[in-house]
Amino acid sequence: TFYTNVSSVPPLHLLNATRSAWETFEKLAGCHAGNKTDGLSKLKQYFRRFGYISSASVANFTDDFDDVLESAISTYQKNFNLEVTGKLDAPTLQQIVKPRCGNPDMIDGASGMNAGRKLRAVAR
């Protein structure tokens, strides 16, 4: 649907439209390495879709918070300028549920975003 201005959007529609396709991920808050939680396999699929987990590395996604997921979260946090904790903390989940471009952030495990860059320091 195309809206020519905001006032043409029906109010009820606005209220019903806040659900994100990925808002189920919000219940994963606080998960960390070693946990097994329903929904983690879907989160792994999300990370695979955007290039953070290679299709070759995992044949079947489980609900285990394993090393692969922890590494994917850390790389994602670097790319989005979040604190790198490797955990599903609130700022990371808030970023994950935001609508976004469908193109991957990483292709063949490489990224031109923060995670693919070396930090350089210059002594003065």
Partner 1 sequence: YSFFPGKPQWPKRNRDLSYAFVPQNNLTDEVKQVFARAFARWAEVTPLNFTRSESLFRADIVIGFFSGDHGDGEPFDGPMGTLAHASSPPTGMFHLDGDEDWLISGEEMNRRILPVTSVVDLESVAVHEIGHLLGLGHSSVEDAIMYPAISGGHRKVELAKDDIEGIQHLYGDGGSSRRNETSGGAE
- Enumerate binding residues for partner 1 (CB under 8 A): 1-6, 9, 13-15, 17-22, 50, 78-81, 95, 98-103, 105, 107-108, 110-114, 116
Give the count of beta carbons closer than 10 Å to the beta carbon of residue 18. 7
Is the Cβ of residue 47 or residue 66 nearer to partner 1 in the bound state? Answer: 47
Smallest gap from Cβ 114 to partner 1, in A, equals: 4
Smallest gap from Cβ 2 to partner 1, in A, equals: 5
Is the Cβ of residue 19 or residue 124 nearer to partner 1 in the bound state? Answer: 19
Say which DSSP state 36 is in.
B
Contact 97, 26 (CB under 8 A): yes
Is the Cβ of residue 56 or residue 108 nearer to partner 1 in the bound state? Answer: 108
Q: Give the integer Cα–Cα distance in Å for 28 and 44.
A: 12
The per-residue b/e assignment along 72-105, b for 16 or more CB within 10 angstroms, e otherwise, is: bbbbbbbbbebeeebbbbeebbeebbeeeeeeeb
Smallest gap from Cβ 18 to partner 1, in A, equals: 6
Is the Cβ of residue 36 or residue 94 nearer to partner 1 in the bound state? Answer: 94
Contact 106, 75 (CB under 8 A): yes
Smallest gap from Cβ 66 to partner 1, in A, equals: 25
